[in-house]
Amino acid sequence: QSVLTQPPSASGTPGQRATISCSGSSSNIGSNTVNWYQQLPGTAPKLLIYSNNQRPSGVPDRFSGSKSGTSASLAISGLQSEDEADYYCAAWDDSLNGLWVFGGGTKLTVL
């Protein structure tokens, strides 16, 4: 059971917009920034969004992030077949002595 809650799956057709939600609590998303990672099949996760809505260099502006209260969202516009991957949200959790927590992951299918 992951600390952050994501839908297990999402889908869209090429060119459409897809969104993935991530729900947490006051000790994680509510008080810290959110990162998003993309994991292509058989590969390591790759940083996609940091500080809620910032893109590392090289990440297309089709990817955007937002945060409100204890929830966050990842939006992918102009879906492409290569966007088919698993997406994970992550945040620092202030409980106990602190730890990084992840969502359970969302499998995005481009139909």
The span of 12-20, 31-39, 60-68, 69-77 binding other proteins (CB under 8 A) equals 31-39
Q: Does 100 bind other proteins (CB under 8 A)?
A: yes
Nearer to other proteins, 11 or 51 (CB): 51
The widest CA-to-CA distance across the chain, in whole angstroms, is 44
Q: Does 26 bind other proteins (CB under 8 A)?
A: no
Q: Does 47 bind other proteins (CB under 8 A)?
A: yes
Work out whether strand 9-12 and strand 106-110 pair parallel, antiparallel, or are unpaired. parallel
Shortest distance, position 97 Cβ to other proteins, whole Å:
7
Q: Does 50 bind other proteins (CB under 8 A)?
A: yes
